[in-house]
Amino acid sequence: MTELVVPGMRRATDRIQLLARGTVVPPDISSLVPDEWADQRTGSERRTATISCIIPAYNEEGTIAAVLTSLLAQTRLPDVIHVIINNTDDDTPEIARSFEGAHERVVKGELFRTVVHVHDIGENPDKKVGALNIGYHLSRGYDYILGVDGDTTLDRRCVEWLEKEMVTDPRIGGLSAVYSFDKTKVHGGMARFLLAGQRAQFAGFNMDNLVRGRNMAVLGGQCSLFSVRALETVMYRHHQSSPWVRDSEVEDSKLSLQIKDAGFNTKISARARAYVGPMTDLRSLHGQQVKWNFGGIDLLWPGQRGDNKGQPLHPNLRLRWYENISMLFNISTRMAFALLLAAALSIDAFVFNPVWLIPPAVATLLNLRIAASMHDKSASDILYALLMAPAELYMWIRMGHFVTAWVQFLARVEKDNWAAQAAAERGRGSAYVMPALCAVATFTVLIFAWSQQSVGVQSAILSIGWPVLYLVTVLQTLFMIKKLVRRQRGFTV
């Protein structure tokens, strides 16, 4: 039977043994195979892997130089670097072109060469997705594609660790670095507070993936290494001309599901690290988080919405379900406690019970454990967790993002969240204040309604509300204790 070969693409059944650069070549064991079963091509199918790096860049004049500098300082240079500039009206092209051309670096006696290419594709309606797909087509013929965002700097051994983990397990279709944020480049009280919150948020997310067999729910576009064979399989299975699709708010999550569906693993590295550009004001944080939440909901929702088929039972989405259910518990308990407390105080019926100190104490211990697991933890991370108030305030901010995304999704609001995030990062838009205004309006209406009830009705509400809240809080606290005592297996985030 003749094997079907798509022109310009490798066979999905290729069994070439890829080797990492700078490592000892493993022994050839083909001599142990009986002659009648031996594959005479085995010896010629062992070679070092090749890596193409693609950087989609949109108005990154403040960060693109640092990104390219970190790539050129790697202990394992990518074989080629493509900077794909799109929809940009700042000086990103000029800064990137100062790095254009050939570069060499000697690491432990081994010479590494790379070439930086800069492609300014002008106005691109598909935005980041379009830039990624152009990068993919420029990278055909390489074994791996390293996707790096235009504001993400890499630890000097990041590419080396990613490559070594990928070549040792050909079942891996995509491997994500461990993400964190660089604290040294953020100034101002609000920016530092939001940075601490984002660091804790990412640390918790990364640890959840690491302790679950290093299975990564989302191969983030910030810094992930993809097997080209896995990408080609995805394209063939889903009838796509390129790996990334433009009909999803979270193109990286969508591709991660498709890679998993194609029979490959999606993993997070235990050692490779990258530093992501943080959101330093409420406006830009709101735009980013609403886009992420909305895209995640779109993948969770059963049935078909547009061209996107929801996959609620997909194994990669288990953590997404946990995050959404956990956030629902957080909103319910906090809103209910605030309302019941205000109601009880209004009729002098509140009696303090020390048992209500247990949930915040457990939450503080859990935040401390997350902070202690950070690879580059500092006093500010410990203080953020220990004081409890900053973490609680950041949780209320996240709750606003969560509710906004769900309202937008259920109301079927036609909104370009990519454009909304871009506008927010440029200091435009006021959508970020809507969750706070809605919360104030909700409290005002409920307090007014409460004041119109008779004392008997108010007492009945309190007599039912407090026990229900107590049971829900007990359940939520048990889940926090479970996370608090679980083994972290030596992983750091």
What are the tokens at 176?
């994500």
Beta strands in 244-354 (DSSP E): 265-276, 303-305, 308-310
Place of tokens 């107590």: 470
Which of 118, 125, 215 lies closest to 175, judged by CA?
215
Are the C-beta atoms of residues 338 and 447 closer than 8 Å to each other? no
Distance separating alpha carbons of residues 256 and 234, to the nearest angstrom: 10
- Cβ atoms of 293 and 410 closer than 8 Å: no
Q: Count Cβ atoms within 10 A of the Cβ of residue 271 and give its class: 0-12 exposed, 13-18 middle, 19 or more buried.
A: middle
Give residues with Cβ within 8 angstroms of 234, minimum separation 6. 240, 243, 255, 258, 259, 261, 262
Q: What is the pLDDT of residues 166-225, one digit of tens each?
A: 999 999 999 999 999 888 778 889 999 999 999 999 999 999 999 998 999 889 889 999
Is 294 within 8 Å of 420 (Cβ atoms)? no
Distance CA 113, CA 337 (A): 61
Contact 182, 153 (CB under 8 A): yes
What is the arithmetic mean of pLDDT over 105-117? 95
The three-point CA angle 126-159-58 to 5° equals 25
Query: Mean pLDDT over residues 460-471, rounded?
Result: 94
The residues, ordered by sequence, that sit 6+ positions from 468 with a Cβ below 8 Å of its Cβ are: 336
pTM exceeding the 0.85 threshold for the entire prediction: yes
Quick one: average pLDDT of 296-325?
82
Pairing of strands 80-85, 51-57: parallel
What pLDDT is stored for residue 100 in this prediction?
97
Amino acid identity, position 23: T
pLDDT value at 429 more than 90: no
Whole-number pLDDT of residue 93: 96
282 and 194 Cβ atoms separated by less than 8 Å: yes
Task: State mean pLDDT over 433-452.
Answer: 91
- Predicted local distance difference test score (pLDDT) of residue 2: 37
Dihedral class, residue 8 (left if φ above 0, else alpha if ψ from -120 to 50, else beta): left
Query: What letter represents residue 467's amino acid?
Result: P
For residue 390, the model assigns a pLDDT of: 96
Per-residue model confidence (pLDDT) at position 333: 95
Q: Name the more confident of 314 and 388.
A: 388
pLDDT at 14: 57
Give kind and range of the element (H or E) at residue 397. Answer: helix 389-410
What's the rounded Cα separation, in Å, for the pair 119 and 115?
A: 13
Predicted pLDDT at 150: 95
By DSSP bridging, strand 51-57 and strand 101-107 are unpaired
Q: Are 273 and 210 in contact (CB under 8 A)?
A: no
| pLDDT at site 246 | 81
Tokens linked to 484: 């608090």
Tell me what the mean pLDDT of segment 76-98 comes to.
96
Residue linked to tokens 């926090």:
480
| pLDDT at position 248 over 80 | no
8 A C-beta contact, residue 221 and residue 256: no
| Backbone torsion region of residue 57, taken as left when φ is above 0, otherwise alpha when ψ lies between -120 and 50, otherwise beta | beta
Q: How many residues does the chain have?
A: 493
431 vs 93, more confident: 93
Quote the pLDDT of residue 34: 60
Helices (H), 181-281: 189-210, 228-237, 251-261
Residue 424: the pLDDT is 75
Read off the pLDDT of each residue in 334-353 and give the average, rounded to a whole number.
Answer: 90
Range 51-188+197-281 classified under CATH 3.90.550.10: yes
Separation CA 354–CA 287 (nearest Å): 39
Of 462, 436, 476, give the one whose Cα is nearest residue 344: 462
**Where in the chain is CATH 3.90.550.10?**
51-188+197-281
Averaged pLDDT for residues 465-474: 95
pLDDT of residue 305: 67
Examine the pLDDT at 490 and tell me if it is beyond 60: yes
**Residue 250's pLDDT band (boundaries 50, 70, 90)?**
confident
Q: What is the pLDDT of residue 319?
A: 86
**pLDDT per residue as tens digits for the range 375-394:** 999 999 999 999 999 999 99
Report CA Rg, the chain: 25
How far is Cα 145 from Cα 169, in angstroms, rounded to an integer?
16
Average pLDDT over residues 452-476: 93
The answer to whether 46 and 25 are in contact (CB under 8 A) is: yes
What is the helix (H) or strand (E) element at residue 290, kind and residue range?
A: helix 282-300
Q: Is the pLDDT of residue 315 over 90?
A: no
Please give the full DSSP string across 132-158, using - where no structure is assigned. HHHHHHHTTT-SEEEEE-TT-EE-TTH
**What pLDDT, on a 0 to 100 scale, did the predictor assign at position 31?**
55
How much is the mean pLDDT over the chain?
A: 88
User: Does 90 score more than 60 pLDDT?
Assistant: yes
pLDDT at 292 over 70: yes
Grade residue 25 by pLDDT with cuts at 50, 70 and 90: low
User: 219 — phi, psi (to 5°)?
Assistant: -80, 90
What pLDDT sits at residue 412? 82
- Residue position matching structure tokens 């504001």: 151
Residue 11 has pLDDT above 70, yes or no: no
Non-local (6+) Cβ contacts of 3 within 8 A are 11, 13
Helix (H) or strand (E) segment spanning residue 362: helix 358-372
Cβ neighbours around 250 below 10 Å, total: 21
- CA–CA distance from 167 to each of 159, 162, 227, 266, 491 (Å)? 12, 9, 10, 14, 21
Torsion sign across C-alpha atoms 344, 345, 348, 352: positive
Could you count the other beta carbons within 10 Å of the beta carbon of residue 369? 18
Least confident span in 29-33, 58-62, 66-70, 342-346: 29-33
Instruction: Name the band, by pLDDT with cuts 50, 70 and 90, for residue 8.
Output: very low
